[in-house]
Amino acid sequence: MAARKKTPAARSPVDGLIELVGVSKVYNPDRVPVHALADVDLQIAAGEYVAIMGPSGSGKSTLMHILGCLDTPTSGSYSLRGQEVSRYTGKKLAHIRNRDVGFVFQRFNLLPRLTAAENVELPLLYARAPADRRREVVADLLAKVGLSDRGHHRPNELSGGEVQRVAIARALANDPAIILADEPTGNLDSKSEDDLMELLDSLNAAGRTLVVVTHEDSVARHAKRVVLLHDGRVV
């Protein structure tokens, strides 16, 4: 990849997978400015398991959107795997979301029209992976989350816990650097929550970097580090 080779040598000395320096996000800058994030510094190393906590309106979601390259900071720098992505636009951000980030949302994670297997296949399709490789990866991932026999079911035929597992399988599809989970257990009963957290723990144990946004201590307890946000600042 030509773009990566051109990245300046000014890399962080730390093994910083993720490095936010002075990141701010201001919504509505012209009329009534809302400072969703103010001067946030955050480093996450490869293999970390981080929980981001805070009351609603504290900027958790904004931080996650920026980490996941769904949004870009108003000011400050964000480097992911050594790439300065804070000024990327459109197609490049889509590429990073596809390759370097895996999302798990709280609800409505899966496309209702597609089967579980087709949902897992989506990131591979957008990565232009050949059909035989897609089949192989999808089968592997469904096995990994314990849903090999549910591949042909549609989301409305799956339980809440199963849907979240499929979402995790999909997040892993392109072997991303980081998994971002936004309240992944928000809609689950406690048994399913335990199962899901166990799955996430096992991923981290295998070396996967995890960032979980949550306001539940029971979830945050699984993480090895907790980042607390308040009014857009890390406290």
Positions in the binding site for other proteins (CB under 8 A): 65, 68, 70-71, 90-91, 94-95, 97-99, 103, 105, 108-113, 122-123, 125-128, 170, 173-174
Q: Which is nearer to other proteins, 111 or 205 (CB)?
A: 111
Residue 215 CB, shortest distance to other proteins, in Å, is 17
Q: Which is nearer to other proteins, 108 or 136 (CB)?
A: 108
Q: Which is nearer to other proteins, 16 or 178 (CB)?
A: 178
Q: Put the strands of the sheet holding 34-45 in their side by side order.
A: 34-45, 16-27, 75-80, 83-84
Which residues, other chains included, contact 193 with Cβ-Cβ below 8 Å and sequence gap of 6+?
185, 218, 219
Are the C-beta atoms of residues 213 and 64 closer than 8 Å to each other? yes
Q: Which is nearer to other proteins, 16 or 171 (CB)?
A: 171
Cα(116)–Cα(39) distance, rounded to whole angstroms? 40
What amino acid is encoded at 53 in this protein? M
Residue 92 CB, shortest distance to other proteins, in Å, is 9
Residue 113 CB, shortest distance to other proteins, in Å, is 6
Residue for token digits 């769904």? 70
Residue 8 CB, shortest distance to other proteins, in Å, is 25
Are the C-beta atoms of residues 213 and 181 closer than 8 Å to each other? yes
Residue 43 CB, shortest distance to other proteins, in Å, is 24
Cα(186)–Cα(215) distance, rounded to whole angstroms? 9
What amino acid is encoded at 17 in this protein? L
Q: At 182, list the tokens.
A: 């936004």
Q: Which is nearer to other proteins, 99 or 222 (CB)?
A: 99
Q: At 233, list the tokens.
A: 């600042």
